[in-house]
Structure 1
Amino acid sequence: MHYSDSFKFASDFINYTNTSIFLTGKAGTGKTTFLKHCKENAVKNTAIVAPTGVAAMNAGGTTIHSFFQLPFTPYLPLGKAFEGNEQVNDKNSLLSRLRLNNERRDVMQKLELLIVDEISMVRCDVLDAMDTVLRHIRSQYSRPFGGVQVLLIGDMYQLPPVVKEEEWQILSPRYKSPYFFNSHVIEQQPLVYVELDKIYRQNDASFVNLLNQVRNNAMDDEGFKLLHSRYLPSFTPPREENYITLTTHNNKADAINFTALNELQGKLRNFNASIEGEFYEKSYPADLLLKLKVGAQVMFIKNDTEKIRRYFNGKIGIVEKIEDEKIQVLCNGVAAAIEVKKEKWKNIRYVVDKTTNQVEENEIGSFTQFPLRLAWAITIHKSQGLTFEKAVIDAGEAFAPGQVYVALSRCTSLQGMILHSSINNNSLHSDSRITSFAKTQKTSAAQLQILHESKKQFQQEEIKKLFDFSEQQLNAKAVWSFVAAQQTSFNTEALLATQGIHTALTNIETVAKKFETQLNQILAQQELPENNETVQERLVAAARHFSTELEKVKNEINTCPAEADSKLIATDFNKLLLDLYFGVCLRLYLLNGCESGFKVDDYLQHKRSFLKPILSANAYAGKSKQAKTDSPHPELYKQLRKKRDTLCEEKNMPVYLIAGSITLEEMALYLPQTIEELKQINGFGPVKTQQFGEIFLTIIREYCAQHDLQTNMGAKPAKEKHKDRKAEIKTDTKVSSFTLFKEGKTMEEIAIERNMTVGTIEGHLSYFVGIGEIDVNTIISQEKLELIKSAIEKFGSSSNKILKENLPENITYGEIRMVMASIKAVV
């Protein structure tokens, strides 16, 4: 297909920039084609949403309210004027009521492009609510839509948003109009306005000119004369010519279809749709019960999925034959009837593919039915996006701006159009606010300059991200810190190995920071980075250097010798290590793709083909895995370990609360014989000694008696009673609180059980929030979370006291610390 210049221009914005655009165009200019083109050729993580179920189904996406889990009540982004009114939402109540699972959050966090179809029908406050949710979930509060590029598609001269009078009474003090362009997010950051200008539906210049007059409410006498030359109120469509009537209301269309169907002779046949999984009634794309007779005029409501395109959405025909589950439809200009089979419509949900790490569609339900609808008549609303060669238009009762234009513009020619009711100026509603918005479109020269600057900025951002290793360095720190906090459960090599990985990535990040200064200087040039030889030379050299260093880190992670006795701790450690490994492998993959240069198109395609790596390292030293030990008495170590594992099973306790690896190794090395000697072993305090001391001492004494051995405690360095003991108690107490929390207990319950204050427990859990082991959303309500984050954004994070003074009294210092820890965890 040959695409127009404006089509290619819009494609460049979507594929090669991060700039949000509004794509519009008159009826028949290819807006739907552009959407399909974007979907089929996506190089970014993309999701498609639309205001209604049918529109979403046609666009191949999901509804706005489903994707964002929005309520259907008005949203006021500023103020609390309606506090206590559950029929109105502000920022705090919207976020506090969000019910997004981890899967949905993951999709939003990885989203790069959001396409909103039929934007003319989206209310201003709905777009602001979408903006609020994305900023919150992505923790990018100062960037419109949380940094996601948005593509808004629609024609403002067609169908407007539906706003009830009582809703507009609430919204009008805060919004200039119900249209999307008067949302706060768009007013603060205007979109690039791109209009598709080539009309594919109509070829007659006089008809195109007439449609433009209707569209702009600028009808002159000649236009009215031409329009009313098609006014034939007594016209009866010949049955064989397949005219379809476009009318304003559902009841009119239903009555016409019902009457025409009953007038046909022959048996009435019923065809039931089949539904599987989740599929909401409002989203049904076809009749749940399709009633047909031979001779019925029908319209195809789906494009043919066969290679030979026998029919398309909107094609009219006559039912020629019905046999069991087979329907044959004859269309004008076709010699043979089309045998129609049932088609499946999918209800999708967006998910992040675990292998590719890309946003993908996941089928959660389906609707299967013959892709046919009775078509002697259809509402103007349902005709949007369709094309008809012959139509009878009954738009005298048009009640919404744009209805007449939508109806007239469905026709391919003036000759194929019949007016059943006269159209006067009162029917030609248009809104001056739409006309004013249309004037915001920049000149072609200005838009080309914006495109160049946007391309340059996008390439700069992608290159800078390529050499930013801060995320990997922080992930390595989280792994190392986790091992340090659970030392008694890990083998002795674990701490040294994870510290080494962290040190290596810290060194890489330090070098990258120095390179960033050079990079900023050469990227500041006017030329696009992909065309700049200086940039290419430095980038290739840097890519080779950093890929060599990252390859070493990758190997260190893959051969990490860390082992833990606790399955719980090992599982958590494995997850942290896998996150680190994934980030390192992805960055290494991208760097390798740039070793011969950076071309943005190749880079994005390369990025999309990445497959998630498999990590061979596993920290769990379970019964099936032989634990490594340098003990001079491996048999004793094995006996002690076996007894420890038995105690864990009997008492349903994690191993680190009985005896970790280091504790076992010290017992097998120093051979304590008495309770007092056992207290000198790391990991044995008064409580553990009282509970399990004699059990382990019995095994050690028997082993020593069998092998004629004496205690070796004299060779053991003295325990540092103060510093080490404090650290041990601190670590143990945090882990104990964490264990109780993982068992499902609240902070209040943990505090009572451990005889501590809630504030102390908050401090314990803050640590695990900070290393990513606890999702802060499971502890703090959305409302409090948003309030604290807003305060941090406004007052900074240097003083908890200042934050506390500017927050409601029911927010504690502990909650502030947890939110700050969560922010650091994802930086």
Structure 2
Amino acid sequence: MSRAKSGLGSVKRDFSDAPMSSQGSEALPWDPTPPKYPSSQPTLSVSTATTDASNPKETPRERRLREIQNALSNRTTPALAQPTKRPSDPDLAEATQPTKKARKLPPGYLSDDEYDAPKRTSSSARAKVVHTAPPPPKRKGGKIQLSEEQQQILALVEQGQSVFYTGSAGTGKSVLLREIIKTLKKKHSRSHDAVAMTASTGIAACNIGGVTIHSFAGIGLGIEEAEKLADKIRKNKKAMTRWQRTKVLIIDEVSMLDGDLFDKLCRIGCILRRNTEPFGGIQLIVTGDFFQLPPVSKSGAVKFAFEALKWKEAIPRTFNLTQVFRQSDQEFIDMLNEMRFGRLSQKSIDKFRSLSREIRYEDGLGPTELFPRREDVANSNTTRMKHLDSKIHVFTSSDGGTVVEPQQRDRLLSNFMAEQRLELREGAQVMLIKNMDESLVNGSMGRVIKFSDPAKALQEDVDILGETANGLGKKPMSTAPAGKGILYPVVEFQLASGGKATMMVKPESFKVELPTGEVQASRTQLPLILAWALSIHKSQGQTLERVKVDLGRVFEKGQAYVALSRATSLEGLQVLRFDPSKVMAHPKVVEWSKTLESAIASSSGSGVASGSKMDEDEEDYW
């Protein structure tokens, strides 16, 4: 590639007093352009020892050569400290590039070297990320490390088997599901719509980036008989295509799926795919905890999915995860297990009653209070906001998607944790509702300390959530506008490791997406919600360091267990009006749970594990 030449390439660095012989065509007359420096930089001075401007016999060429020599002999680092272009001389480039201030990572973060090469990292650096015992599934080289029982279930899924797995709160059901989805998408990478991700509720569907099972199936409310529903689906080209192209159907939060509906879906798959196998031969991955919230029934008679006529035929392998990651205190784990089965010992009852004490936190963040009704949540958060005297900042979401029918669109959008209109003030207690990295995850608590323009954030040494390289994976820059006068919240997050991380929070995207890639509904909004209060329903799946629950308000089986099992420790849990009668487990679920396999036991060829952890607990409680 040709480059413009200045003529210096033909000048010998002898600089003798003898007149220069005529040069080639490259040595064109060239007056060097003096470098431009900021007014604050010292001007380049020329030594008088080598300058003789009064010599009348000096030719123009000799004068130019003398000026070049003087410039070269008097160049200094301060004068060239801010070149307009990168110097071509490597030594000069190293000496003249301005030294960048090293970015300080927030507490709990690992650098690229620490993250990618843990063996070379000092123990003090690795100690920033604190795990409970036993250690939860963790990343190694960017990949999740699953427990042995989780790995066995994943292996069966890869082999094409239909499975159901469950476990008490905090056993890593969601972590395993994310790995299953990733593995299946890679396995079926040639067909982008082969893996259908669904859930029984809209909130659960949003959490896994999918849609409700009703929306996937194209059955509406699904109250008609299977044959009529199949005829309805045939008239819906998109729904019909989904049924025909799907190879794997994932159903999350199956505890809230009615057993009759499960049988209808099973039959519909047979009809549409012309295959007598359950669901027309589609591989099923089903998960959830039947000890938590039950299916909603207008008649009041609850029929669980495992009571469906085709359950055993459709899902021949059912497993129970036993290793708890959320809580490390064995006493608390045992108390929650007793509560899960609805039979509390007197020791556990006394302990729960002792948790009615007031907890004071020194960092200014209070607990998240869990309510069974949304009205109570709204009243609590509104009251706390009114007590703050700072200016209100309103953030309105940007919504989109292919669904345009108003009622259906609103129903889809209501499933997002992100709100359509979010009001924040300095001092507001907030919760992150999206996983950003290993330290800042869905459920991380924080407090708004100020509002700032993104253009000034890095100048003020404030990292932008999801945009600043932090060693835990690099994320593309968001499309949110910067430097246009929009002020975004700067939040001081409390990390699980005990440290703090101050981050500016900008809008993120949330969406409801069909297996084909069609986005039915989307919302771009700050990934934050007010967190003085939260509904028990929306808290399902969350991990909270500080929880306050008034069990006097609980009215449904499983609500008390869901609420209390959100806490990571007894130290961060406050329980008001504890009543053992509110701790209810459905007897059908208790009896059915005895049939579950242990994933580790099944891997050794022992079949149903009668000596599994689940069965041992049941012997103690019943």
| TM-score, structure 1 normalization | 0.48
Indicate conservation of the 8 Å contact 1:297/1:375, yes or no.
Answer: yes
Query: In the alignment, which of 144, 149, 173 is matched to residue 6 of structure 1?
Result: 149
Query: In the alignment, which of 242, 259, 274 is matched to residue 366 of structure 2?
Result: 242
| 1:23 corresponds to 2:159 | no
Q: Secondary structure at the match of 2:548?
A: strand
Q: Greater share of helix residues, 1 or 2?
A: 1
Runs of 5+ consecutive residues of structure 2 not aligned to the other structure: 1-137, 139-144, 189-193, 404-408, 453-485, 608-622
Question: Structure 2 matches for 1:146-295, cutoff 5 A?
Answer: 146-165=280-299, 168=300, 177-189=302-314, 191-232=316-357, 240-278=364-402, 280-284=409-413, 285=416, 286-295=418-427
Indicate conservation of the 8 Å contact 1:248/1:394, yes or no.
Answer: no
Per the alignment, residue 396 of structure 1 pairs with 552
The 3 A distance-change label for structure 1 pair 247 and 365 is closer
The 3 A distance-change label for structure 1 pair 251 and 237 is farther
Indicate conservation of the 8 Å contact 1:298/1:375, yes or no.
Answer: yes
Q: Residue 404 of structure 1: CA displacement? A: 0.8
Q: Secondary structure at the match of 2:514?
A: strand
Q: Deviations over 1:108-160 (max 9, x none)?
A: 223221110011111112212221221111111x2111111111110111111
| 1:440 corresponds to 2:605 | no
Q: Residue 403 of structure 1: CA displacement? A: 0.8
The 3 A distance-change label for structure 1 pair 296 and 276 is same
Q: Residue 389 of structure 1: CA displacement? A: 1.1
Per the alignment, residue 119 of structure 1 pairs with 254
Question: Structure 2 matches for 1:549-628, cutoff 5 A?
Answer: none
Per the alignment, residue 329 of structure 1 pairs with 491
Which AA in structure 2 matches 1:182? Answer: E
Indicate conservation of the 8 Å contact 1:104/1:350, yes or no.
Answer: no
Per the alignment, residue 320 of structure 1 pairs with 449
Q: Residue 266 of structure 1: CA displacement? A: 1.5
Indicate conservation of the 8 Å contact 2:196/2:514, yes or no.
Answer: no
Indicate conservation of the 8 Å contact 2:152/2:599, yes or no.
Answer: no
Question: Structure 2 matches for 1:402-551, cutoff 5 A?
Answer: 402-419=558-575, 421-442=576-597, 447-448=602-603
Indicate conservation of the 8 Å contact 1:242/1:316, yes or no.
Answer: no
> d(CA) in 2 for partners of 1:350 and 1:443?
31
> d(CA) in 2 for partners of 1:15 and 1:187?
20
The 3 A distance-change label for structure 1 pair 289 and 96 is same
Q: Residue 444 of structure 1: CA displacement? A: 6.4
Q: Residue 446 of structure 1: CA displacement? A: 7.5
| Aligned CA-pair RMSD | 2.4
Per the alignment, residue 508 of structure 2 pairs with 343
Per the alignment, residue 375 of structure 1 pairs with 531
The 3 A distance-change label for structure 1 pair 38 and 100 is farther
Which AA in structure 2 matches 1:318? Answer: R
> d(CA) in 1 for partners of 2:225 and 2:543?
41
> d(CA) in 2 for partners of 1:289 and 1:362?
25
Indicate conservation of the 8 Å contact 1:6/1:194, yes or no.
Answer: no
Q: Deviations over 1:56-87 (max 9, x none)?
A: 1101111111111113153xxxxxxxxxxxxx
> d(CA) in 2 for partners of 1:429 and 1:231?
20
Indicate conservation of the 8 Å contact 1:397/1:427, yes or no.
Answer: no
Per the alignment, residue 134 of structure 1 pairs with 269
Q: Which has the higher contact order (CA 8 A, sep 6+)?
A: 2
Q: Secondary structure at the match of 1:350?
A: coil
Per the alignment, residue 181 of structure 2 pairs with 39
Q: Secondary structure at the match of 2:356?
A: coil
Q: Secondary structure at the match of 2:376?
A: helix
Identical residues among aligned pairs (%): 31
Q: Residue 311 of structure 1: CA displacement? A: 1.9
> d(CA) in 1 for partners of 2:423 and 2:162?
45
Q: Residue 445 of structure 1: CA displacement? A: 8.6
Per the alignment, residue 65 of structure 1 pairs with 214
Indicate conservation of the 8 Å contact 1:69/1:100, yes or no.
Answer: no
Q: Secondary structure at the match of 2:515?
A: strand
Q: Secondary structure at the match of 2:543?
A: coil
Q: Greater share of strand residues, 1 or 2?
A: 2
| TM-score, structure 2 normalization | 0.63
Q: Deviations over 1:557-600 (max 9, x none)?
A: xxxxxxxxxxxxxxxxxxxxxxxxxxxxxxxxxxxxxxxxxxxx
When the two structures are aligned, how many residues end up with a matched partner? 414
Q: Deviations over 1:653-672 (max 9, x none)?
A: xxxxxxxxxxxxxxxxxxxx
Q: Residue 93 of structure 1: CA displacement? A: 2.3
The 3 A distance-change label for structure 1 pair 451 and 367 is farther
Indicate conservation of the 8 Å contact 1:52/1:283, yes or no.
Answer: no
> d(CA) in 2 for partners of 1:316 and 1:445?
35
Question: Structure 2 matches for 1:779-798, cutoff 5 A?
Answer: none
Q: Residue 447 of structure 1: CA displacement? A: 3.1
The 3 A distance-change label for structure 1 pair 222 and 91 is same
Q: Residue 98 of structure 1: CA displacement? A: 2.4
Indicate conservation of the 8 Å contact 1:25/1:155, yes or no.
Answer: yes
Q: Secondary structure at the match of 2:552?
A: coil
Indicate conservation of the 8 Å contact 1:395/1:407, yes or no.
Answer: no
Indicate conservation of the 8 Å contact 2:371/2:536, yes or no.
Answer: yes
Which AA in structure 1 matches 2:505? Answer: V
Indicate conservation of the 8 Å contact 1:25/1:31, yes or no.
Answer: yes
Which AA in structure 2 matches 1:66? Answer: S
> d(CA) in 2 for partners of 1:444 and 1:242?
39
> d(CA) in 2 for partners of 1:446 and 1:337?
45
Q: Secondary structure at the match of 1:222?
A: helix
Which AA in structure 2 matches 1:210? Answer: M
